[in-house]
Structure 1
Amino acid sequence: MRPSACPGLLRIVPALDGGICRVKLARGELSAAQALAIADAIDERACGIADITNRANLQLRGVKRGHEEALVAALLQAGLGPSGPQDTMHAFADDVRNVMVSPTAGRDANALIDTSTIADDILTHLQSDKRFAALSPKFALLLDGGERLAMLDHPHDIWLSAMRAHPERDDVLFAFGLAGCPPVAAKHAGALAAVAPSDVAALAHALVHTFLDLAMPEHTRMRDLLAVHSVEHILAHVKSKTEIALLRDASIERWRRAPADPSLRLGAHRQRDERRSHVGGQPVLGRMNSATLRGLAQLAADNDDATLRMTPWQGVLLTDIDTTQVAATLQALDVLGLACNAQNPLTRVIACAGSAGCAKSLADTKADAMKLAACLPAHAQVHLSGCPRSCAAAHRAPYTLLAVAPGRYDLYHTHDPRDPTGFGRCLARGLTIDEAAGMLNHAALPPFDEPSDA
């Protein structure tokens, strides 16, 4: 198996504040029982902290030396690992479980299709093929059902997005592309082709095999393959491996996905059945302690076992909340310390672990983010990164503060959050948090483009 420094459930890696264990959640879901199991495990085996990642997983920090095996065993017992017998389980089966769906999959009235079953089929394909041990743990897929609440700005190695086959009919196809995001605006690259929903899992399997067939050892992501092979060559290879019909015409190439609305991750919003709602909130800087996890588990259990779903905005949704319980659920989230309103500036600040937890970080980004949030203008969305690796954000944020020394940051701005190269245009260097806040509040500073409308 290819060596990796990426944490996983079965591979705990060291950090400044202890070991890191990354728990990949199938479709971002967490049952009440699983939330309680994690809370117990991090109290006994770690430092009591769980961070929600930008791919809707959980990262358990501060794992104590000598407690690694017991932690992993507890998590596996709770059903938080790959499917299959535990005695034959390998780290690769955990590494490849990188399939992101909308937090409202199966619940969103605007969705064209429920992606839940298709996502499960893709996960089964991925973790049952041992050849996929050669994949980077960062190799990821997006499965988009057309929901209004969707993260469309994280580049994925393979993306698949539901589209209407015919404007006047309900037929659905899945458009797909490589090394990017579903197209929203005219300037974005269009889909390569489309397939029937019944062929999506098999197509994903063929695309991953094609990557492994054509990639050189130094190629870890699909963008590396596209740098040396044409799209036509890649698609021809896919066709040679499967009998799936790849539909290609001008209407598919011109197709653009409707913009998403990230604000729906906060507060209460009706689900497709109109009788229930999903209710969402954001823990401070995406971090939860064991008490928060236990409180969320109790909320889920008290609402007929509603499901907890992590979001790629580092928040939490509770699905299937009866209309009569919405107000009480929002109040309970507030008591647990989750922000449920977009007016709260902490919903617009992202920060990595910072120097308190990571030796590579040049600043205490978590503490600085709290200070910045207290004076953040209403229009600003900011990412604080302790080093150029940008661990906390999978896409380029509208504004980035890149640490250069303790308490000092370079300020970057971009009009295209979907461009993952660099941080944008540097506006100023070596700013304190107060100076950065002053610039962000300055009237002459250009406003950012909302990611969903990019």
Structure 2
Amino acid sequence: MNEHPLANAVRPSACPGLLRIVPALDGGICRIKLAGGVISAAQARAVAQLAARHAGGVIEATNRANLQIRGIGAQHQALIDGLLAAGLGPTSAALPSLAQASAADDVRNLMLSPSAGIDARMLIDTRPLAERILASLQGQPRFHELSAKFAIQLDGGEALAMLEHPHDLWLSALLIENRPYLAFGLAGCPAHDLPLAAVPLEQGHALVVAVLELFLDLARPEQTRMRHLLAEVPAEAFLAQLVARGGIEPIAVGDWQRLAAIGLLHVGTYPQRQPSLVHVGAVFPLGRLDSAMLEGVAGLAQQLGDGSLRLTPWQSLLLPGIREEHAGQASTRLEQLGLLCEADQPLARIIACTGSAGCAKGLADTKADARRLATLLAGRAQDVHLSGCQRSCAAAHVAPATLLATSPGHYDLYFRDAAQPGFGLLQARNLTIDAAGALLEARSRSSTDD
């Protein structure tokens, strides 16, 4: 078998990719970017088997609805070959070199709702537009100059949508006189920011292409993200240059803002737009799964669903296309595989990074501490984020409560506060995990008891 030149291109400071293995304390990391967060049952089986055969068998769901394999050793070439053979790499035919393939893989950062095309409340089906955007990202070499972190979100008005993750460009569906439009904003998110303007849906692809081209024209090499450019070029000036180039006709939408649904809609059973069908959501405990779990879920998707799995930005899973009468069976099977199907389970609402067990920057074993915290919060599930360092790799948004590691087993506690930068308002310093659990439990009681 011929050696892939990029299979050995280990860059300690780089983001992982399918063709670029990045080292960690527990071995190499390979990130598999999923178009729209969707993976077929056959592809999921391939990931499970390759992870077991060529790595430590540890698989993670990421907060951008992707998968990554940890613990990769000397068998990285066979792992990459297998993933490419399963159709999990960039799809453009115009990639004559592995370097271009790696660049095309890097920029596949388009996040959709996990329920795109099936959500009962969606305004538009975003999948056709997403397919065009992904084709341009992969197929146009100019866009390969974008940072591997440069990210786009496309929201079709679904009830189930992550609206708090910041993106370099976000688009959100709305209706104006019963005509579909896409409101859009730069370097922010629909949950907290007003849109810059809106364009008719049919101009959505042209808008994305124009924004990316203008960004690349204006940004200096060190300005890798939209927020860096906007520090020098105000958003209104960027919009004016965008309009001057032609091809799009944006309109003002005033103070319109995307409304978020209430509740943890990524957990549990919900009706689809299609009659008599439901999707079932379940959480991977702390975003971790193993090969047996993934193979089991793949089999369930084929037996009871439509043969696909949808990953979510909550590091969880959606099984679509299940008949209403089979929903209970699907949930039971998922629980037997080790997933969490109830939102009131404390571990279903706790997120944690890899921590010191697998990351050199981690100051505490966040996964083990999170499991301990879940036992302390039994009966009063809360949204808590444990971060091993300031980078906040496990959460792209600010959680209601954040435990920031200071040393093994010790954390500073923050509560989300819109008036405070970063994690929010510092509540207490250097807490043990038991002390943090007691404080969180007390706060939960004070906010719910009369």
TM range (shorter): over 0.9
| CA deviation string 1:127-181 (max 9, x = no partner) | 1111222211111001000000110000111000000112xx3x21000000111
Q: Which residue of 2 aligns with 1:189?
A: 193
- From 67, 70, 86, the equivalent of 2:75 is 67
Tell me if structure 2 keeps the 8 A contact 1:155–1:420. Answer: no
Displacement after TM superposition at 1:384 (Å)? 0.4
Q: Secondary structure at the match of 1:441?
A: helix
For residues 213-238 of structure 1, give each alpha carbon's deviation from its aligned partner in whole angstroms, at most 9, with x where no partner exists. Answer: 11112211111111110122211222
Please show how residues 146-157 of structure 1 align to structure 2 within 5 Å.
Answer: 146-157=157-168
After superposition, where does 1:50-449 map in structure 2 within 5 Å?
50-64=59-73, 66-85=74-93, 88-89=97-98, 90-166=101-177, 169=178, 171-183=179-191, 188-248=192-252, 252-303=253-304, 305-376=306-377, 378=380, 380-416=382-418, 421-443=421-443
Opposite residue 15 of structure 1, the aligned amino acid is A
Q: CA deviation at 1:244?
A: 1.3
CA gap of 1:406–1:269, structure 2 versus 1, over 3 A, is: same
Could you give the per-residue CA deviations for residues 52-98 of structure 1, whole angstroms, max 9, x where no partner exists? 0000000110111x211111110011011101247535211011111
Give the match's secondary structure for 1:328: helix
Deviates more, 1:255-264 or 1:153-162: 255-264
Please tell me whether the aligned partners of residues 28 and 311 of structure 1 are also in contact (alpha carbons under 8 angstroms). Answer: yes
- Kindly indicate whether the alpha-carbon contact (under 8 Å) linking 1:151 and 1:262 is maintained by their aligned counterparts in 2: no
Distance 1:11 1:447 in 2: 47
Query: Deviation of residue 273 (structure 1)?
Result: 1.9
Contact 1:282 1:315 in 2 (8 A): yes
SS at match of 2:326: helix
Residues 446 and 53 (structure 1), Cα distance of their counterparts in 2 relative to 1, 3 Å cut: farther
2:67 maps to 1:31 = no
Structure 2 CA distance, aligned partners of 1:444 and 1:98? 36
How far apart, in 2, do the equivalents of 1:447 and 1:192 lie? Answer: 36
Question: What is the identity, as a one-letter code, of the residue corresponding to 1:422?
Answer: G
2:53 maps to: 44
Alignment CA distance shift 1:242-1:46 (3 Å): farther
Change in CA separation of 1:174 and 1:445 when aligned onto 2, cut-off 3 Å: same
Report deviation, 1:379: 5.5
Shift of residue 446, structure 1, vs aligned partner: 7.5
For 2:72 and 2:144, locate their aligned partners in 1 and report how far apart those are by CA, in whole Å: 25
Aligned residues: percent identity?
Answer: 52
Residue 19 (structure 1) aligned with residue 19 (structure 2): no
Say if 1:100 and 1:142, in contact at 8 Å, map to a contact too: yes
Aligned partners of 2:14, 2:250: CA distance in 1, in Å?
36
Deviation at 1:199, TM superposition (A): 1.1
Deviation track 1:256-310 (CA, whole Å, cap 9, x = no partner) reads 2122245121111110123100001001111110000100110011125332000
Q: TM-score, normalised by structure 2?
A: 0.93
Conserved? CA contact 1:363–1:406, under 8 Å: yes
Cα separation, 1, equivalents of 2:266 and 2:66: 16
Q: Mean alpha-carbon deviation: is it higher for 103-112 or for 421-430?
A: 421-430
Structure 2 residue runs without a partner (length 5+): 1-5
CA contact (8 A) 1:125 1:201 kept: no
**Contact 1:396–1:420 (CA<8 Å) still a contact in 2?**
no
Q: Is the 8 A contact 1:112 1:163 kept in 2?
A: yes
* Larger RCO: 1 or 2 (CA < 8 Å, sep 6+): 1
Kept in 2, the 8 Å contact 1:306–1:321? The answer is: no
Q: Cα deviation per residue 1:340-371 (whole Å; 9 max; x = unaligned)? A: 11110011100000111101101000000000
Task: Quote the Cα distance in structure 1 between the aligned partners of 2:405 and 2:446.
Answer: 22
Partner-residue secondary structure (3-state), 1:355: helix
Give TM-score, length-normalised by structure 1: 0.92
- CA–CA separation in structure 2 for the residues paired with 1:443 and 1:348: 16
Q: Whole-Å Cα distance in 2 between the matches of residues 374 and 70 of structure 1?
A: 40
Q: Which residue of 1 aligns with 2:3?
A: none
Residue 253 of structure 1: CA displacement?
Answer: 2.1
Structure 1 residues without counterparts, runs of 5 or longer = 449-454
Q: How many residues align?
A: 434
- Between the aligned partners of 2:246 and 2:49, the Cα distance in structure 1 is 46
Query: How far off is 1:420 after superposition?
Result: 9.6
Structure 1 segments (4+ residues) deviating >6 Å: none
Please give the alpha-carbon distance, in whole angstroms, between the structure 1 residues aligned to 2:368 and 2:30: 23
- 1:206 shift after superposition: 0.9
